[in-house]
Structure 1
Amino acid sequence: MFQLRTLPFTEIAGLVSKETCEYHYGKHHQTYINNLNNLIKGTEFESKGLFEILTQSQGGVFNNAAQVYNHDFYWDCITPTTSVRSAELEDAIKASFGDLAKFKETFLNAATTLFGSGWCWVVYNPSSQKLEIKQTSNAQTPVTEKLIPVLVVDVWEHAYYIDHRNARPAYLEQFFNHINWEFVSKSLETAKKNGLEAVKNYTKSLHS
């Protein structure tokens, strides 16, 4: 049985209020956990880990497993405290986007223009050995394309409507101001070292 992970904060001023945490984490994220547990009962996935379910399932099982993972990762990508980028991450941003300003512009534009509900990711592509920006709709995740996430922003409306109403750009600006660069730096480091095993190890750290 999967359990809801611990939220690494109670609120982030300007980005996610306690009320948003209560609904987004306590209700939406919890519902994906509950649905996944119910859907895998008596199936081949009942004894498998989240990574295996994520990469081997389809339909409702996949949708709920992916939403568990996507939300797990999102919560770690934001922080109420100041964080710094590693030299490795700085170099990767420069190599892939030119500089931080261009990266921010490209990333936030991709997140703003994603139609409907979904996620905007920064992934490490082992083939190109560069960072790339990836839009996914609904529950989809780049992991199924063998891309390793290092950063994600949730652009489902329930992620920001309580605090920012329909102003997605305002939410995204605040998101960028509260990125947990230390987590992103570590995610890039493990992605380069371990490939998709980095995703598997991350899921196991939360759902052993």
Structure 2
Amino acid sequence: MEIHHCKHHATYVANYNKAAEGLLDALEKGDVEKVTSAQSAIKFNGGGHLNHSIFWQNLAPIGRGGGEVPTDGALIEKINAEFVTVDNMIARFNTMTAGVQGSGWG
């Protein structure tokens, strides 16, 4: 988790900040090409930052249900209805997101 926080999430934040500065500079200079490039970097890195922020807020200790695949309840019922097993769901996510930059699944 330390690597995930200190490297992955931190890199998204640093690159977002760099892109935001680049966007302001490009806007001031009227450089349309750099504006477009900065917007793409802002979307990608901003999305990575947002996804990680949500991830951190949803972690829970094992004593409160974290780190374990649920065995009952609405979530596992929906997973089983759609994918039959959690492993099937993960395999399908991996296949579907393999080509998506920054998806974290593929």
TM range (shorter): 0.5 to 0.7
C-alpha separation between the residues in 1 aligned to 2:63 and 2:13?
Answer: 30
Would you say how many aligned residue pairs link Structure 1 and Structure 2?
87
* Matching residue of 2:13: 33
* Matching residue of 2:74: 91
Greater relative contact order (CA < 8 Å, ≥ 6 in sequence): 1
CA RMSD after TM alignment = 3.7
Q: TM-score, normalised by structure 1?
A: 0.32
Matched, 1:81 2:62: yes
**Offset of 1:58 from its aligned partner?**
4.4
Higher-helix-fraction structure: 2
Code of the residue aligned with 1:98 in structure 2: it is A
- Mapping of residues 10-89 of structure 1, within 5 Å: 16=1, 21=2, 23-41=3-21, 42=24, 58-84=39-65
Percent of residue pairs identical: 18
- Mapping of residues 162-201 of structure 1, within 5 Å: none
Q: Is there any run of 5+ residues in structure 2 with no aligned partner, and where?
A: 26-37, 67-71
C-alpha separation between the residues in 1 aligned to 2:39 and 2:88?
Answer: 31
Q: TM-score, normalised by structure 2?
A: 0.55
Higher-strand-fraction structure: 1
Q: Encode CA deviations 1:136-176: one digit per residue, 9 max, x unaligned.
A: x1236xxxxxxxxxxxxx337xxxxxxxxxxxxxxxxxxxx
Q: Is there any run of 5+ residues in structure 1 with no aligned partner, and where?
A: 1-15, 44-56, 118-136, 141-153, 157-208
Larger radius of gyration: 2
Change (3 A) 1:75 1:27: same
